[in-house]
A and B are shown apart, each in its own frame.
Chain A
Amino acid sequence: MSLAIVILIQAAFYALLGIGYVLIYRATRVLNLAHGDLMVFGAFLFYQALVSSGGSVTLSIAAAVVGAALIGALVYLVVMRPLASYPIAVGVLATIALAILLRAIVTIIWTGQTRYPAELVGQLGRPISLASGVSVSGVDALIVVTAVVALLGLPLLMKLSTVGIEMRGVAENAVLAAQRGINIHRVNALSWAAAAVMAAIAGMFFSLKVRLGPDIWYVGLAGFAPALIGGMDSLKGVAVGALIVAAAEVLAARYIAPQVALAAPFLVLLVALWIRPWGIYGSREELERI
Chain B
Amino acid sequence: MRLPSTLRTDFRHDIRLLDSAFVRFWAVAGLTCALLLPLLLTNFWTSVANQVLIAVIGALALNLLMGTTGQISLGHAGFMAAGAFTVAALITHAEAPLGVTLLAAAAAGALLGVLVGLPALRLKGLYLAVSTLAAHFVIIVAVGQYQSAISYGAGFTIPPPALFGWTIGSERAWYFFLLPAVLAVLLVNLNWLRSPYGRAWMAIGHRDIAAESLGINVPLYKLLAFSASTSLTCVAGALWAYHTGFVSVEAFDFDMLIQYLAMVIIGGLGSVLGACLGAAFVVVLPHAISILAGKLPLLQGLGLKTFELQIGAFGLIMLLFLILEPRGLAGIWARVRAYFQLWPFRYRAWEAR
The chain A residues found within 8 Å of chain B, CB to CB, are 31, 79, 82-83, 86-90, 92-94, 96-105, 107-108, 224, 228, 232, 263, 266, 269-270, 273, 277, 287-288, 290
Contact = CB atoms under 8 A, between A and B. Distances in A.
B34 interface: no
Nearest to B135: A270
Interface in B302-328: 302, 305, 308-309, 311-316, 318-319, 322-323, 326
Contact of A107 (B131, B141, B308): B308
Contacts of A93: 72, 261, 265, 318, 322
23 contacts: A89-B72, A89-B125, A92-B125, A92-B129, A94-B318, A94-B322, A97-B262, A97-B322, A100-B315, A101-B315, A104-B309, A104-B312, A104-B315, A107-B308, A108-B305, A108-B309, A108-B312, A224-B130, A228-B130, A269-B134, A273-B123, A273-B131, A290-B124
Contact of B122 (A92, A232, A270, A277): A277
Given A92-B129, A107-B308, A287-B127, A101 B261 contact: no
Contacts of B119: 273
Given A79-B319, A82-B323, A97-B318, A273 B137 contact: no
A98 B319 contact: yes
Majority-rule SS of B interface residues: helix
B309 A31 contact: no
Given A86-B326, A107-B305, A101 B319 contact: yes
A94 B134 CA distance: 20
A33 to B, nearest CB: 9
A206 B317 CA distance: 31
Interface residues of B, number: 35
B258 interface: yes
Nearest to B311: A104
Contacts of B312: 100-101, 103-105, 108
Contacts of B127: 228, 273, 277, 287, 290
Given A97-B319, A100-B312, A104-B312, A90 B326 contact: yes
A72 B265 CA distance: 24
Contact of A83 (B66, B309, B323): B323
Contact of B129 (A31, A98, A104): A31
B126 interface: yes
B223 to A, nearest CB: 18
Interface string B43-82: 0000000000000000000000010001010000000000
B126 A290 contact: yes
B261 A108 contact: no
Contacts of B141: 263
A97 B323 CA distance: 11
Contacts of B134: 266, 269-270, 273
B183 to A, nearest CB: 29
Contacts of B319: 79, 94, 97-98, 101
Contacts of B261: 93, 96
Given A107-B305, A266-B137, A92 B258 contact: no
